[in-house]
């Protein structure tokens, strides 16, 4: 069946922020469960987890749990322990129609807390921040407390996907700025990760006057052709070498999901839309390689998958082709105070990417006003999930400097 405009969840249409509860249609949850029950396992020759993908048995076990034990209602109740809102902001740039948004909004008890916009990235949603929100808003913690705004990127979670072409990271940046304005935050800070970092960087460029600071756990400063030339001449530092080599390993072995998503979202998403277990495997492969050995429960894996699957994965995957473009990653430098943490994967299964990406501060300084830098050799790609307290402490350390 074709569900062109069906979000499969309750989404009150409103032009100003309105409180609501996440309520996913039972039909789509049941559909996923039936497909998990009917899951046809792939009889692959490689029976173990490897660089080539999950072990077949891991997938069958996941499918069986999904079909028989997974409880979406419990997950939904957990989501609703934070306050959810919908709103609509005007279209902008290349995207001419209004943009509906879903976001979490939690205020600190301290009226003078800093407004902080949290922007997730690929394969994640607003839910990535679930373990840090209460810590951040807590005014009795040492250090700053924050009013938290955590939207879903369009096409992810409960923010509807774009309905027209042209919604790139700059359009999303402008939409999020309009959101903060609607909430009455004239000035605010941004904390980002993964492709959310691209959006955050555009906010610092296009809305400089409104951004207090930018904190990120993923500053994606790639080696330039100059860096590679110096590397070929053995003129790079040890720190640069480690990063160049792990970056090469990433692109040689692990990055093809991004190429496939960016080039042919419609080709790929047919299978992922029709096979929720297959989609879970696609996402689990990335988690397995990049989360520093964090042991996801089946509940976490399935909930994360469903959050991307409920409205259909095409919306989020299609955005990839607009976000991950070289032209969208050339940022003019601004003076926005920037704090960068790096989290390695020494406990992860693939040593060649344990230090990916760890650009040296000197590279970051080409693109941002770096005032805080901290490198951890553990934590992985989603530190707000695997190391929530440390992530918050590091963020607070950055904000102390301002």
Residues within the interface to other proteins (CB under 8 A): 1-5, 31, 34-35, 38-46, 50-54, 56, 59, 161-165, 252-257, 259-275, 277-279, 281-282, 285, 311-312, 314-315, 318, 321
Tell me the β-bridge partners of 231.
none
Cβ neighbours of 402 (radius 10 Å): 13
Pairing of strands 337-344, 211-216: parallel
Closer residue to other proteins (CB): 14 or 255: 255
Smallest gap from Cβ 35 to other proteins, in A, equals 8
Q: Count of alpha carbons within 13 Å of 107, Cβ hemisphere only? A: 7
- Answer left, alpha or beta for residue 93, where phi above 0 means left and psi between -120 and 50 means alpha: left
Dist. CA 309–CA 315, nearest whole Å: 10
Closer residue to other proteins (CB): 124 or 341: 124
Check: CB of residue 56 under 8 Å from CB of residue 47.
Answer: yes
Smallest gap from Cβ 175 to other proteins, in A, equals 16
Q: What 3-state class would DSSP assign to 335?
A: coil
Smallest gap from Cβ 272 to other proteins, in A, equals 5
Residue 284 structure tokens: 């689990």
Nearest CA-CA partner of 169 in 95, 261, 266, 221: 95
Residue 76 CA, distance from chain mean position: 20
Smallest gap from Cβ 258 to other proteins, in A, equals 9
Closer residue to other proteins (CB): 70 or 399: 70
DSSP for 50-109? BTTB--HHHHHHHHHHHHHT--HHHHHHHHTTS-EEEEEE--BTTB-S-EEEEEEEE--S
Closer residue to other proteins (CB): 38 or 69: 38
Tell me the β-bridge partners of 341.
374
Which one-letter DSSP state was computed for residue 150? Answer: E
Closer residue to other proteins (CB): 19 or 256: 256
Check: CB of residue 276 under 8 Å from CB of residue 67.
Answer: no
First to last CA, the chain: 54
Smallest gap from Cβ 310 to other proteins, in A, equals 10
Closer residue to other proteins (CB): 5 or 297: 5
Smallest gap from Cβ 266 to other proteins, in A, equals 3
Closer residue to other proteins (CB): 103 or 284: 284
Closer residue to other proteins (CB): 5 or 238: 5
């Amino acid at each position: 069946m074709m569900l062109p405009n069906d979000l499969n969840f309750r989404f009150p249409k409103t032009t100003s922020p309105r409180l609501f509860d996440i309520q996913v249609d039972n039909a789509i949850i049941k559909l996923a469960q039936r497909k998990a029950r009917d899951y046809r396992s792939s009889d692959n020759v490689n029976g173990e987890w490897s660089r080539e993908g999950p072990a077949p048995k891991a997938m069958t076990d996941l499918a069986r749990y999904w079909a028989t034990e997974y409880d979406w209602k419990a997950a939904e109740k957990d989501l609703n322990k934070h306050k959810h809102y919908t709103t609509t902001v005007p279209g902008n740039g290349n995207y001419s129609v209004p943009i509906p948004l879903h976001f979490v909004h939690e205020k600190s008890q301290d009226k003078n807390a800093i407004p902080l916009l949290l922007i997730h990235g690929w394969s994640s949603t607003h839910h990535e921040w679930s373990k840090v929100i209460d810590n951040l808003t807590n005014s009795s913690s040492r250090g700053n407390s924050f009013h938290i705004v955590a939207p879903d990127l369009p096409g992810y979670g409960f923010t509807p996907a774009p309905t027209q072409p042209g919604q790139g990271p700059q359009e999303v940046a402008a939409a999020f700025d309009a959101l903060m304005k609607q909430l009455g935050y004239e000035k605010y800070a941004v904390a980002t990760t993964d492709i959310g970092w691209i959006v955050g960087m555009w906010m610092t460029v296009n809305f400089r006057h409104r951004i207090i600071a930018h904190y990120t756990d993923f500053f994606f400063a790639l080696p330039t052709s100059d860096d590679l030339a110096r590397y070929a001449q053995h003129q790079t530092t040890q720190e640069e070498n480690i990063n160049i080599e792990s970056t090469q390993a990433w692109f040689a072995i692990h990055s093809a999901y991004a190429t496939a998503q960016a080039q042919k979202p419609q080709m790929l998403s047919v299978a992922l839309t029709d096979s929720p277990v297959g989609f879970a495997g696609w996402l689990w492969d990335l988690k397995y390689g990049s989360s520093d050995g964090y042991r996801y429960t089946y509940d976490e894996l399935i909930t994360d998958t469903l959050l991307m699957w409920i409205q259909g994965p095409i919306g989020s995957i299609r955005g990839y082709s607009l976000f991950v473009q070289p032209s969208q990653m050339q940022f003019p430098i601004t003076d926005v105070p920037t704090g960068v943490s790096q989290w390695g994967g020494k406990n992860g299964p693939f040593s060649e990417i344990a230090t990916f990406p760890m650009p040296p501060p000197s590279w970051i300084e080409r693109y941002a006003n770096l005032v805080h830098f901290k490198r951890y050799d553990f934590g992985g790609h989603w530190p707000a999930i695997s190391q929530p307290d440390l992530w918050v402490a590091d963020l607070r350390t950055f904000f102390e400097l301002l």
